[in-house]
Structures are given as structure tokens and as C-alpha cells.
Structure 1
Amino acid sequence: MASRPPYGGPTRKLVLACDVGTTFSGISYCILDPGSVPEIRGVTRFPAQEDVGGDSKIPTIVIYDKQGQLQAAGAEALNPRFEDDDEDPERWIKAEWFKLHLRPKTKSGAHVTNDIPPLPKGKTAIDVFSDFLTYLIKCARLYIEQTHPNGVELWRSLQPAAEFILTHPNGWEGAQQSMMRKAAVTAGLIPDTESGRARLTFVTEGEASLHFCISNGSTTEAVKNGKGIIIVDAGGGTIDISTYRKLPRRQSFEEVAPPECYFKGSIFVTSNARRFLEETLKSSRFLGDVPHITRCFDKTTKLRFRNSEENQYIKFGTLKDKDPSLNIRSGQLKLIGSDVASFFEPSVQCIINSVNSQLRAAQNEISSVFLVGGFGASEWLFSQMKNAFAPIGLEVSRPDTHVNKAVADGAISFHIDHLVSGRVSKFAYGTNVKTVYDASNPEHAARSATAFRDITGSMMIGGLFDVILPKGTKVNEAQEFRESYSKVASNPEDLSIISSPIVCYRGKTDMKINGTHFVDRDSNMYSLLCFVKGDLSRVPKLPRPSTFGRDKYYTATFDIVLSLGLTETKAHVCWMENGTEKKSPAELVYDPDIVLIDD
């Protein structure tokens, strides 16, 4: 990309990006100085981290004692003293892969539960996430204090107003952002105030990866002539796929297909290997060694694998460990290469199918696929993708720097460069409504048994979904979507607060904006996203005569306005008062326990 312009803000500012991954995590930061060109830096030294070179990542692991007190995190959690304690085997409780406990509750993702270690007793996912964020920021503080001139004073002066970016998979929505915000507040990153919450921003891992690829020049040739690119962020837990194109004559990009997210990251390759080992060794004395053998596979064999026609080996024991009938010799288990390839196959096919889906959804030519993320370092995955897409002329490449730092660096670039100006809605968004019953309408007549008379005296029918934003719509950040609604009540005080549901439709029916649809036609494809909670106390409550058992009722007319082109959904309510539009902020209230329906 072109050189960054100097920072034009009035005061010095510290920005930190935390990429909490399923298996590894990293931190990047930038000190914004007025008049100076911003420089993205990564934290490259962590406590107990032996490899202080370009990796820039630490294991996403937390250790608690039996009282639930945090004892270690990151590389410090790998200390052998936490692995075995003959005097008290239950003295230390490990939490790993805990990020996936925040995931959306989807029906097809139910199988994921079997692969995720349970949370420590008495701890929620927010608790563990918060403790790990606390540790990451502590590491950032130590690094800045030790590497910058007058670093202690630098941190002391900038930390109170620091801004934070948290990354998350493409498939996560407002409920997951809400939980992550609670964790950030608990960790002390920000106060739980309006100004404090404004210092925290979210970005998808796909969009952060795009910024990384652009900022290091990887995409320069690929986006020429208006061609699009696909970003595949292959991480430990999730695979995130996003497609973008560069806008003509502008230094900005837009999504051209709804982003996708799948639980098919590298940990599931290891889970497939574990199940294979359990079956292979089930009747042998080595069955109890399966957890150790699996760890050895994860750290060595999985990383080295690149040829399905060659035997693969897992070194797990000593010279005394042997059983020729199981292909175990000198503490080494021999595996057929095609078996190892089968461990990767679900993830490989998921990526290939998703890229093909993105190609179909995008309405312009795609030139390249960029593979990033820790799993992206796998030579087998890279070669399989090249083999799949070379016949259709689609180039697959990886950035020429460490692919596992892409998200943290890209999140900082997202904050300072802001290169994506348009996004594509993943679902149809709307709300539940009722309308006046029309006996001449066949759809109404078919549901006549559900018709009812409300306090206005009119016959009404409910069960309708009113579309505010259709799926696949290109939305820019400044764009707002609004719909007008009326609430009625016999008491005007009952109209002081609005709590309206925002519903997602995840099915395949082509829905148009401002259209209404009966939800019973495709009921399994609707799910509650959140509630818009707003203050209507200043909205005029107009009395109306009733024809149904009472003298009058009151009505409040207002608009729900959604900003859906941002990385985080925002809302407010508007109404007319004496010919002037008034506005009030609205809170989005999420329920993380809602079970969502997959596409």
C-alpha cells in the first residue's frame, strides 16, 4: 500500500490490539505521535518464552490453583511443575481452548463441544478470557517499559486513555462482542462507562488479515484491474474466509461476498488424530499413552507433514517402547501417510468448498487466495489448496512474513488505516411485527385462527418478520437502515421504554428490504440476535379513541435506526416532534444462550 500519512490527531495516543487465539495469542501496538508516520510494532518478548524471535505468539493457556486463583498464563503455563504433582495431582487446573466456549451456539457446531476441554469448575468463559487479557496487557506493559526510552513513564502517561482492539472470528456476532467487552472491563482495560466502552473496538479476523496483507504489500499485484482477493485465515479453532475488491481510484476496499466461518481449525486435525490413535491402540498397553502421543503428534508430526505417500512417525517414548504389530519401534509409532492426510481432510475440504462458495457469491473476478494464520503455515494445507485452485487459474499464496502474527498486526492497521469502507450482510436482519388482518389476503385467511383484536379495536395478525436489511447487501459504514413502528398501550407510561427484538433470517429465501414474511414458513431459520432497548420517554404519546371496550388508548410512533455497516452493530431511535427529528441512543441487549440456526 502507499505510505501511511502522518498521524493527524491532536495528542499522543497508545493503541493495543489483542489477538486471543484458540491455541496461540499475540499483541501488537502503535504509539500515535502527532505529525509522525504510525509504525506497527509487535510484542516479541514474553515471560518464559524461549523463542524470542519472529514468532511473536504465546500459548493461549491459563493455570489456576484449586481455589481458582490465577497462577500462570502463556509460556509460563508450560512450566513442567504444572504437568505433574505426585503429592497433589489436582493441585493445578489448566484452561485451554477456552475462547471456543464463547462461540455462537449453532446446531451444526454441537460436535465441537466434544473436542473442547471443559472450563475450570466455578469459572465462566468470560472469567478466563478476562484473566488472559489481564496477562496479555501485563506483557505489553513490560515490553514497552523495557524497549522504549523512558518506557515506564511512557506507559504511565499513555495507558489511562489507551484504545484497544479485540479480534474475533468472522462468525461471531454481537453476543460474543458483548461477552468480550465484559471481559475487557473485568480485566481493567477499560471502565464500564460510555467513554470507556468507546475505547474498545472489534474487528473480524478476516478483515484484520486483509489489512495485514495490504500493509505488507502482498496484495499489490493481485488487486490490479479491479480484481478481488479471498483471505483464508486458518487458525487453531476457526477457518475464516472473506472476499474483497479494491475500489476504483481509491485506497479502500469493500467486501463482495458474505464472510464465512467454520470450526475446522488445526485443533480439529489433532482431535481426528487422537480418535485414530484411540482406535488403533485400544487393545494395547499403549492406550493410556494416547494423550501424550497426541501431544507429540501435534508438536512435531502435524507440523512436518507434507507428503501423503510417505510414512509418518510420532516419536513419543524410549527404545524400550516397541510393539511391531502396532508399528511401534524404539518409542516411535509409524503411520501411513494417507491416514495422516485423512486427519487434515475435513479442514482441507471445508476451505476448498468455502472458497468455491465465495467465488460464486462474488460478482467480480477473483485473482488470488491469501492463506494466513497459524494453520496456514502447514505445507500440506498450502499444497492441497494450490492443487485445488491451480486448474481454474486461481493463485494461492502466503505472505512472506510470519503468518501467525497477521491478525494482531492487521488489527492495528484496521485502526489506523481503516481500509475497508463497505461490508456485506451475512444474514437478513429485521424484527417481529403484526399487521391489520385482511380476510381477502390468502396468507391471512390461512392463519385466521391466530387473528386477534388488540386494544385499538382492530383485528390483527402476528407472526410476521419485517425485513430491515436483506442478506448479501453491500453496506457502507455511513449507511443507516430504518423502519417506522408504532406501539400502543392503555397507559402512556407503558410506552416510555422500547424493547424490540432484532431477528436474523439465515435461510435461503430471497428477501427484499421493507418486505414482510410469515415466520412459520421457515421457522427454523429465524433466530433472535438482540433487543433494541431505547428511551421513548420524550416521544409524544398521542391519545386515540378505541372501539373495543375502553375510552381511549395511546400510541407512540418512532423509527428504529440500525448501523449495520460497522464491525459492531449500533442503534438509536428517532421520532418527530413539532416538525423536528429527535434522536435517542439505544442499547443492544444480547442473550448469548440463544441457539442459532446455521445456513
Structure 2
Amino acid sequence: MQHQVFNPRDYPIVMAIDFGTTFSGCAYAYAQDDKEVIDITSWPKQSIQYPKTPTLNLYKKDDPEHKLVTWGWKAKLETLRPSARHHTLLYQYKLHLDENMQNSPLEVDITVLEAISHYLEAFHEYVVGEIMRGFAKNFQRDHFRYCLTVPAMWSDRAKNVMRQAAVKAGLIKESDHPDRLMLISEPEAAALYCERKCDQFDLGHGDRFMICDAGGGTVDLIVFEIAVTSAGRRLSEVTKGHGASCGSVFLDRHMRRLLDQKFGHHTANFPANIIPNLVDTFADAIKPQFDGIEDQFLLLPANRCFEDLEDPEAIGIDDGYLVLTAAELKEHVFEPVVKDVLSLIQEQLTQAGNCSAIFLVGGFGSSSYLYSRVKAQFSSQVGLISIPPRPELAVVRGAVCVGLNPRVVTSRIARRCYGISSDQPFEKGKDPLAKRKFEVNGVWCIDRFSPYVRKGHKVNVDECISREFSFTKYSEAPEDYNIALYATDMDGDPPRYTTDVGVSKLADIPIPCPHAPSSRLGSMVKVKVNMHVGLNEIKAEAVVGDKVYSTILQFDAVDTF
């Protein structure tokens, strides 16, 4: 579409949604009052005092249309009722967007994109209702703009799924300006939350701090450097943000394995919900406050299956409780996951060179055991290791701050090397004959990788990188062209060809009608492609003559998620 100018004043309410693996949260602010961020803390059928709602979808088993029955706390409540056998509960499906994980298909015959859009639609409908009941009742739905958080470790394709899901869920329309929805990396959002507290922690110009955003599914890390300017504090990335799927749900999975090991063959005679309920009890009562020192006691439900055990004392059952020693919890449940987090932190410290502080945020970031292990391992290298107030809300509150002031972060480090496929002059003796192409205006080499940005290079957020290309006019009719965008994760010099090992096609950049009517058949028509790679999403513009077109990247096989 032809380039439109985005005016933030058209959208006086900034809403942030932190779509998480296990829990999702929301906060908002009025643009005219950017000092106050308001949390949504009341959720339908909420069973515990927690400012987020579970990321759960409930579907009827015999519904061929797979319509969402309910979501969040209510979905969890429904699974405890006798009618639960007629329903299927989807959970932790956000992990399917980590392309490094091997995930089994969803239990409902829908794509991950559809599951996310179903949840976002219901979540958004509720949240808008809550906001409109308050001071926002004088505003319309068209007055909202959105900040949706995504892991820094995700691929560009996975981030694009979130944008498509937001459109499908009705947050924005396809015809809206793309900037009405911002995708924000979770650690960057948390960095802006912590940046507002820098004075409390005595962090100033030139100091560096690490965000370790440890959530339910993923752990994301980035190191930022503070610059104090006349316009206020500004942040720039020092390291390539990275992470892994080693969040707190993996503690739950290890806990389940430990329970299966303890009860052995007896679990075959347990009711189906016994072990999952015990894991839920562990997650709610033991996981957050476990310190690695005290033994823990898991309350067993009243059920005959425990009375039929041959030797309950050998299993560790005492007066209706399962005794879990600190040693076995550390060895079998916590350490396998925590060691992965420590390794990620060490990698960031190695990249950064020096770091004044580490902030642990996210639900898992508030873990007492994780904090003690990080402090024990890194306090000699880093002066301040801290859990800021309300760490579980750091990402969603920070995302609102980004929406209100998107220029606090001034530069980012490119996670990958990006380039496009182009024809370049054929170099005899260097380029293979198979890539030679004859044209009226010369001999060309096809499939050349023309880099826009190299992996590890610093890119300013407002930086626009341009390349000019020429198309041969073969027809009088207007023709659309696609320029293929490629990427590689390899370090070092960019590849020579888009067909090299490790290079993959990422998306198509559609170029609308690049042939001017005045140009002759067989003549070359020039097109300039502007790329903005310093943002959390790659954005492209095509300049054809005196017209500028915003192009939406068309990612390959998004519907396979």
C-alpha cells in the first residue's frame, strides 16, 4: 500500500499485552499521562491473587468448527468438573513457536496461529470491556494502539505469526497502519521498566546492566548500556539478545518425572488427574519459594490410590504429605533448568565484557532458588544482582513504556545477517558457469547475496539501509515483482550466494508495479528498497519513481505453525 504517515495522537490509549507460555497479562496508559501505568489485575473466575490469567484454551471434543469454549482461569476451573472429559485443554502452545524445539501436534486440529488468535480475541474482548468501564468510557475501540511482547530469541517468522494472530483476533485491521501494533522484545520491555528505577540502584552514564527475563517457557537475556542525554536516559544494546526454552514449565516437567519415578508402577492405577494436580500444587506452593535448603511437603489429595501403596514410607509419604528433600528437588527438578539459565548469563557476560547489574524479571525470575544460584555464581563479577519490585509485571509494564516512548532504546545488535537475492556482474573464474545469465546489458551472476546488515553489527533504530535495483521492462502491462529476503545465523563475512549452506529464504518483499508507463520495452526501471532492520520487526519500503510504498513482508509457510 502507498506509504501513510503514522500519527500516535490518533490513538490516545496504549495497551500492552504480555502473551506468555503459562500466564498472560495486560497493562495500559493514557498517552497524555505517561507517568501512570495501570495494570489489569482482575480476571474472570480468578482463583488466586495473581495479576495475570492462565494462557489456556478450552475446546469441545466433538466440535468440528473448534470454537473456543472458554479461556484463562475459567478454562482451568472447567477441567475440575465432571464434564471435563468432553473437553480438550490447550496449554503451553506458545512453545511451538520456538523453531529449535521438537513439539508434538496440538491436541485440537487447529494451527498454533489459530490457537493464539482464539485466545487473544477472548482476552482482548475482556480487557477492552474492563478499560471502557473506567475513565476510558469516552474513547472508542479505534483509539487503542497496541504493544505485543515476543521473546528476543524468536525467529522473524515466529514474530510474524504473532502479528497475524493479532489481526485475526481483531486487535487491529489489515488496513491499519502497521505501527498501530508494535512487537516488542520481552527483555527490552523489562529493560525500560528497570530503567525507570536506575536512580534507586545508582546506575548512571556508561553503566551496563543485564536483563534476565525468566518466564514460564523462555529465558531471554540482553545487556544494555545507559547514556544520559539532554533528552533523558537512553539505552543501547551491547550484546546480541539470545535465550532458550528453559523457563519454569520445565521445572514442572522435571517434577512430573520425579513423581512418576517415586510412585513407579502404582501410577497406572491412579486417577488421570492425580499426578497433574500434584504438579499444579508444586507449581503454586513449592516452586516460587523453594530456597534449596529446606525440605518441602507436598499435600496429597484424599484418595484411595495412596492407601493401596505397598510401602508409603519408602516413597516418602508421612501423615498425608509427600516429603521432598531439598537435595532431591535440587538434583532432579531445579538444577537441570537453572544450569541452563546460568550458562545463558555467562554467555552474555562474556559478550558484554563488563556489566554493573543483573536484573531478574518474569515469573521464574522471582524464584528464590534461581536468585541464590545467580548470586553465588556471579556476585564476584557483577556488583548488583537484584529482583526489581513486581518482577512478574516488569515485561507488560515496560511494554507500555515502550509504546509511550519508543525511542528510549536507540540501537540494537543484529541477531542475524540479512540480505536479498540479486543479479550482479559475473566474475569469470570466481562465479560458477551455472549461475551465469546473459542479458542485453551484460553478463550477470544470479543468486548473489546482497547484504543489508551483518550479524553482530550495531544498527540504530531509525537507520534506513537502501539498495537500488533495476528491472527489465518486458511488458506494457503493470507487473508486480517480489524480491526475496534471505538470512543466515553464521558469523563472519556474509555468504556470496543465497544458495550457500546455512542461508535460508525468510520472506518475499513485494514491489508494486515498478514499471513507469513512459519507459520503453527492454529498458531498465530503477527501484530503491529501503530496509529498517533496527526495529524488533523488519520493515521495508519500495521507492518507485516519486512514490513510496510500505510493503508487508510475506513470510514463507507461516500457516505451518
TM-score by length of 1: 0.82
Q: What is the match of residue 173 of structure 2?
A: 191
Q: What is the match of residue 395 of structure 2?
A: 407
Separation (CA, whole Å) in 2 of partners of 1:403 and 1:428? 33
1:332 aligns with 2:326: no
Separation (CA, whole Å) in 2 of partners of 1:69 and 1:582? 43
Letter aligned with residue 462 of structure 2: A
**In 1, are the aligned partners of 2:13 and 2:31 still within 8 Å (CA)?**
yes
**CA shift at 1:37, angstroms?**
5.1
1:587 aligns with 2:552: yes
1:324-356: CA deviations, max 9, x gaps?
232233443333433322322243222222222
**In 1, are the aligned partners of 2:151 and 2:187 still within 8 Å (CA)?**
yes
**CA shift at 1:384, angstroms?**
0.5
| Change in 2 beyond 3 A, CA 1:339/1:461 | farther
Q: What is the match of residue 4 of structure 1?
A: none
Separation (CA, whole Å) in 2 of partners of 1:454 and 1:541? 25
The unaligned stretches of length 5 or more in structure 2 are 1-6
1:489-514: CA deviations, max 9, x gaps?
6x235882221111111012244xxx
| Change in 2 beyond 3 A, CA 1:463/1:331 | farther
Separation (CA, whole Å) in 2 of partners of 1:89 and 1:47? 19
SS at match of 1:391: coil
Separation (CA, whole Å) in 2 of partners of 1:12 and 1:541? 41
Separation (CA, whole Å) in 2 of partners of 1:477 and 1:73? 37
Aligned pairs (5 A) from 1:180-579: 180-195=162-177, 197-215=178-196, 217-218=197-198, 220-249=200-229, 250-285=232-267, 288=270, 289-307=274-292, 310-318=294-302, 320=307, 323-342=312-331, 343-362=333-352, 365-399=354-388, 401-418=389-406, 419-441=408-430, 444=431, 447-448=432-433, 450-456=434-440, 459-488=443-472, 491-492=474-475, 496-511=479-494, 517-518=496-497, 523=501, 525-539=502-516, 553-575=522-544, 577=545
**In 2, are the aligned partners of 1:59 and 1:74 still within 8 Å (CA)?**
yes
**CA shift at 1:529, angstroms?**
2.0
Letter aligned with residue 238 of structure 1: T
1:18-48: CA deviations, max 9, x gaps?
1111111111011234xx5542100121221
SS at match of 2:392: helix
Separation (CA, whole Å) in 2 of partners of 1:75 and 1:96? 12
Letter aligned with residue 272 of structure 1: H
**In 1, are the aligned partners of 2:358 and 2:386 still within 8 Å (CA)?**
yes
1:155 aligns with 2:137: yes
The unaligned stretches of length 5 or more in structure 1 are 1-7, 544-551
Q: What is the match of residue 143 of structure 1?
A: 130
**In 2, are the aligned partners of 1:292 and 1:316 still within 8 Å (CA)?**
no
**CA shift at 1:12, angstroms?**
7.6
| Change in 2 beyond 3 A, CA 1:63/1:492 | same
Separation (CA, whole Å) in 2 of partners of 1:451 and 1:175? 29
Letter aligned with residue 304 of structure 1: Q
For the aligned residue pairs, the C-alpha RMSD in angstroms reads: 2.9
TM-score by length of 2: 0.87
**CA shift at 1:588, angstroms?**
0.8
Letter aligned with residue 98 of structure 1: Y
**In 1, are the aligned partners of 2:198 and 2:204 still within 8 Å (CA)?**
no
Higher mean alpha-carbon deviation, 8-17 vs 432-441, is at 8-17
**CA shift at 1:120, angstroms?**
4.4
Q: What is the match of residue 3 of structure 1?
A: none
Letter aligned with residue 502 of structure 1: L
| Change in 2 beyond 3 A, CA 1:594/1:431 | farther
Q: What is the match of residue 5 of structure 1?
A: none
**In 2, are the aligned partners of 1:176 and 1:592 still within 8 Å (CA)?**
no
SS at match of 1:426: coil
| Change in 2 beyond 3 A, CA 1:377/1:328 | same
| Change in 2 beyond 3 A, CA 1:299/1:434 | same
| Change in 2 beyond 3 A, CA 1:569/1:278 | same
**In 1, are the aligned partners of 2:247 and 2:337 still within 8 Å (CA)?**
yes
SS at match of 2:287: helix
2:91 corresponds, among 93, 96, 105, to: 96
Letter aligned with residue 32 of structure 1: A
Separation (CA, whole Å) in 2 of partners of 1:255 and 1:241? 11
1:408-430: CA deviations, max 9, x gaps?
11111111133212111111111
Letter aligned with residue 402 of structure 1: R
Letter aligned with residue 75 of structure 1: W
1:44 aligns with 2:38: no
| Change in 2 beyond 3 A, CA 1:56/1:493 | farther
Letter aligned with residue 70 of structure 1: L
Separation (CA, whole Å) in 2 of partners of 1:138 and 1:298? 29
